[in-house]
Structure 1
Amino acid sequence: MQVTELSADGLKREFRVVVPAAELDAKANARLAELKDRVRINGFRPGKVPVAHLKRLYGKSVLAEVIEQAVTEANSKIVEDNGFKLAMQPKVELPQDEAAVNEIVDGKADLAYTVGIEVLPAIELGDFSSISLEKPVLEVAESEVDETIERIAQGNRPYAPKDGAVENGDRVTVSFVGTMDGEVFEGGSAENIPVAVGSGSFIPGFEEQLIGLKQGETRTVNVTFPPNYAAANLAGKDASFEVTAGQVEAPGELAIDGEFAKSLGQESLESLKEQVRARLAQEHAGASRNKVKRQLLDALDGLHQFEVPPTLAAQEFDGIWNSVRAEMDAQKKTFEDEGTTEEAARADYTKIAERRVRLGLVLAEIGEKNNVQVSDDEVTRAVVERARQFPGQEQQVWDYYRQNAQALASLRAPIFEEKVVDFLIDQAKVTEKPVSKEELYAEDEADEKTAA
């Protein structure tokens, strides 16, 4: 086998590989000799079939297998001999001319092909101890606990039937049929749905237009689906609903006391407050970690600047761009509406894609160099947690992940990333800064675009 490097352009390499016909023939004969003891052919005793006869029967198919194996072995040797770390699987370009292919398969010509390889860059890790991070801290205020319990109480308060029209705060059972441009659309109709008017649980504008309805009355409600509505085919679109009111109910009084706490499965009002306080503290800690993580990623990006594999960057860009375009189409917006052009947006998101790939490579390198491991138990817990999100389908979800290596890897990857982030935070200089709730949960455009 002869290997010649044709080009080296950044992280891309191209090689020409020639495997002599005699070498392929020798490997094919060895393979046929192995088959001799296993095949059963009429007229021959087991193990006594001449190799020449086998070659007439199976020669071309065996040689095709040998060629495939030779290509795999040659590519592996190129990678091993050069110490490459591959960014993508090698791109093999075999001869396409039918006559040339037949010559190779018939054993009359050498196998010659080119292979393109894209390699990972050599990454020189920075000094993590030089990273300074500011950790926002928000203590759970007693007023926040009380407000949360009040919301819980509002959602659990009793209702009693009433005469008269719907008022804000009432609950009304409705049936409706939704249309767009006069046509009924899928998912736009329902029967006997309870609506707590003023809760904000329905499409904006829907609940307010129910005020004044009486039981048995029908009214047309006109709304516009939010731009970020979950169903992309409805996002940002206008719709009309023919709504018929059923039973109208007024909210009753609900005392926030020990009995209320017991109705929620708690021993006392104080234990309910402790549970709420713990949940709020967990939410604040999660938001704080996200802020710290974004600072950390910004710092890593500043410490590590290197060329990223073009194909990986292109794939990342395609994913981002398709998402952006889908969202803009749903919102019926153009780049001009956003104060930019498609060309400028492409350039912007290209940089974001490259940053994401670069940070992914840096985190992977840090994890490898510092022996960060994800245990099988941690992955199993992630699978169990995922299965719990699909009540009644737990076994199907479990089987899917246990039988699908790529899906399992998609659960392992974020666990690995978080463990590397934990390692880096331990290495960095972290100072705490008390913040308001508004500051802790504020999201700016830079955060949304650069989050990796």
Structure 2
Amino acid sequence: MQVTETLSEGLKRELKVVIPATDLASRLESYLDDLKSKVRINGFRPGKVPTAHLKRLYGRQAMAEILNTMIQETSQKAIEDRSERPALQPDIDLPDDEAEAILDGSADLAFKISYDLLPEFEVVDFSGIEIERPVVEISDAGVMEQVEAIAANNRPFESKGEGAVAEAGDRVTMSYLGKIDGEPFEGGADENGQLVLGSGQFIPGFEDGILGMKAGEEKVITVKFPDDYPAPHLAGKEATFDIVLKDVAAPGELKLDDDFAKSLGLESLDQLKDIVRGQIESQFGALTRQRVKRQLLDKLDEVYSFDLPGKLLETEFQNIWNQVEMDMQRSGKTFEDEGTTEEAARSDYRKIAERRVRLGLVLSEIGEKNNIQVTDEEVQRALYDRVRQFPGQERQVFEFYKSNPQALASLRAPIYEEKVVDYILELAKVTDKTVTKEELEKLAAEDEDEATAG
């Protein structure tokens, strides 16, 4: 095997590999000798089939298998001998015009290997990284506020009877049929819909049309969907609703006691409070984690600057851009609607791709150098969590991931990233700062906006 470097430019590498036809012939001869003892051909005793006859029957098929094997072996060895680390699987370029001659054994096997190297960089001293961790102190009053909200959602209602007038705070049961330009639209109908007047669950103006109606009354109300309504085909449209008010129920007395907790399947009000406190801690803990991780990634992005593997970057950019195009198509908006152009948007999203690839390489290098591993048990838990998201399709989802290594790797990657982040945070200087619930939510919203913007 002869290996010649034909390109060395930044992280790009290209090698030309030549395997003499004599080496291929030697491989073919060994292959046919082995085949001789296995093949059964009429007119010949086992093991006595002439090699020339085997070559006529199986030569090209055998050579194709040999070529495939040798290309894999030699390309891997060529890179290993250079002690290089490709960012992705190398591309193999085999000239089509020589394929027939190579298969016939009359030409050398010559092909090109092209790949990008992983960049080399030093891992920084994490003790110099300073992170401020926002922490919300959970008060008893905050817990009770959530308990009261739960109670409000489970408040008993009692029918006010035929002819009762619907007032603010009442729960109405109704059938309704929504129409635009006289035609019913998808999702605009219900036979026994319930609505607590004053909850703001329906579009603006809907509840106002219900107030003052009597149980048993029919009415047509006209409302307008908000311009920013999530469903593009309804946004900004005027609609009518044919309403039949079936029942009006008044809110019952709300008692926060052990009996209320027992109605929820719990033992006592104190147990409900403990559960609510745990839920609030989990919610705020997730927001705190999001904020801390964003700060850490920003710090790493400031520290590291190096060339990126072109193919890896292009793959990430295309994944992002495909999602952008799908979102815009689904929303029916254009780049001009967003106050930009396609060219400017491409530039912005390429910067996002660059950040993601750079940080991904940094975290991967840190994890590798510090022997951070993801256990099979951790992947299994992630798989079960994923399966539970598809009730009724658990077996199909489970089999999909088990039979698809790439899909399974997509479960492993975020676990690995979080473990690397935890490792860095243990070494970084992290200080706690007490904040209010509103302040933490504002910080989290800002992080979400920055993540979307890059």
How far apart are 1:244 and its partner, in Å? Answer: 3.2
Partner residue, 1:118: 116
How far apart are 1:391 and its partner, in Å? Answer: 3.1
Report the CA distance shift for 1:368/1:247 in structure 2 as closer, same or farther (over 3 A). Answer: same
- 8 Å CA contact 2:18–2:110 kept in 1: the answer is yes
How far apart are 1:66 and its partner, in Å? Answer: 1.1
Query: Scaled by the length of structure 1, what TM-score is found?
Result: 0.90
**Separation in structure 2 between the aligned mates of residue 25 and residue 235 of structure 1, nearest angstrom:** 70
Find the residue that maps to 2:3 and give its secondary structure: strand
**Separation in structure 2 between the aligned mates of residue 123 and residue 402 of structure 1, nearest angstrom:** 35
Find the residue that maps to 1:4 and give its secondary structure: strand
- 8 Å CA contact 2:87–2:118 kept in 1: the answer is yes
Report the CA distance shift for 1:209/1:7 in structure 2 as closer, same or farther (over 3 A). Answer: farther
**Separation in structure 2 between the aligned mates of residue 108 and residue 44 of structure 1, nearest angstrom:** 29
Report the CA distance shift for 1:249/1:17 in structure 2 as closer, same or farther (over 3 A). Answer: same
Report the CA distance shift for 1:225/1:367 in structure 2 as closer, same or farther (over 3 A). Answer: farther
Find the residue that maps to 2:45 and give its secondary structure: coil
Find the residue that maps to 2:96 and give its secondary structure: coil
Report the CA distance shift for 1:47/1:128 in structure 2 as closer, same or farther (over 3 A). Answer: same
**Separation in structure 2 between the aligned mates of residue 124 and residue 337 of structure 1, nearest angstrom:** 43
1:252-279: CA deviations, max 9, x gaps?
Answer: 2221211111111222212211211121
How far apart are 1:390 and its partner, in Å? Answer: 2.9
**Separation in structure 2 between the aligned mates of residue 149 and residue 127 of structure 1, nearest angstrom:** 46
Find the residue that maps to 1:101 and give its secondary structure: helix
Give 2:15's aligned amino acid: F
Partner residue, 1:67: 67
How far apart are 1:332 and its partner, in Å? Answer: 4.4
Find the residue that maps to 1:18 and give its secondary structure: strand
Partner residue, 1:367: 367
**Separation in structure 1 between the aligned mates of residue 198 and residue 327 of structure 2, nearest angstrom:** 28
Partner residue, 1:160: 158
Give 1:267's aligned amino acid: E
The answer to whether 1:313 aligns with 2:313 is yes
Stretches of structure 2 that go unaligned for 5 or more consecutive residues are none
The farther-off stretch of 441-450 and 245-254 is 441-450
How far apart are 1:300 and its partner, in Å? Answer: 1.0
1:118-176: CA deviations, max 9, x gaps?
Answer: 22111311111100000101111222212211211121112222333444433333444
- 8 Å CA contact 1:221–1:243 kept in 2: the answer is no
| RMSD (CA atoms) | 2.6
Report the CA distance shift for 1:76/1:268 in structure 2 as closer, same or farther (over 3 A). Answer: same
Q: For 1:131, which of 126, 129, 132 is the aligned residue?
A: 129
Give 1:114's aligned amino acid: K
How far apart are 1:194 and its partner, in Å? Answer: 2.7
- 8 Å CA contact 1:167–1:211 kept in 2: the answer is yes
How far apart are 1:55 and its partner, in Å? Answer: 1.0
**Separation in structure 1 between the aligned mates of residue 155 and residue 258 of structure 2, nearest angstrom:** 15
Give 1:421's aligned amino acid: V
- 8 Å CA contact 1:139–1:281 kept in 2: the answer is no
- 8 Å CA contact 2:130–2:428 kept in 1: the answer is yes
How far apart are 1:383 and its partner, in Å? Answer: 1.7
Give 1:259's aligned amino acid: D
How far apart are 1:209 and its partner, in Å? Answer: 4.5
Give 2:355's aligned amino acid: R
Report the CA distance shift for 1:72/1:183 in structure 2 as closer, same or farther (over 3 A). Answer: farther
How far apart are 1:228 and its partner, in Å? Answer: 7.7
Report the CA distance shift for 1:59/1:261 in structure 2 as closer, same or farther (over 3 A). Answer: same
How far apart are 1:436 and its partner, in Å? Answer: 1.5
Stretches of structure 1 that go unaligned for 5 or more consecutive residues are none
**Separation in structure 1 between the aligned mates of residue 326 and residue 225 of structure 2, nearest angstrom:** 18
Task: Give the number of equivalent residue pairs.
Answer: 448
Partner residue, 1:344: 344
Partner residue, 2:83: 83
Find the residue that maps to 1:353 and give its secondary structure: helix
Report the CA distance shift for 1:262/1:120 in structure 2 as closer, same or farther (over 3 A). Answer: same
Give 1:121's aligned amino acid: P
Partner residue, 1:44: 44
Partner residue, 1:24: 24
- 8 Å CA contact 1:138–1:440 kept in 2: the answer is yes
Give 1:244's aligned amino acid: I
**Separation in structure 2 between the aligned mates of residue 238 and residue 312 of structure 1, nearest angstrom:** 44
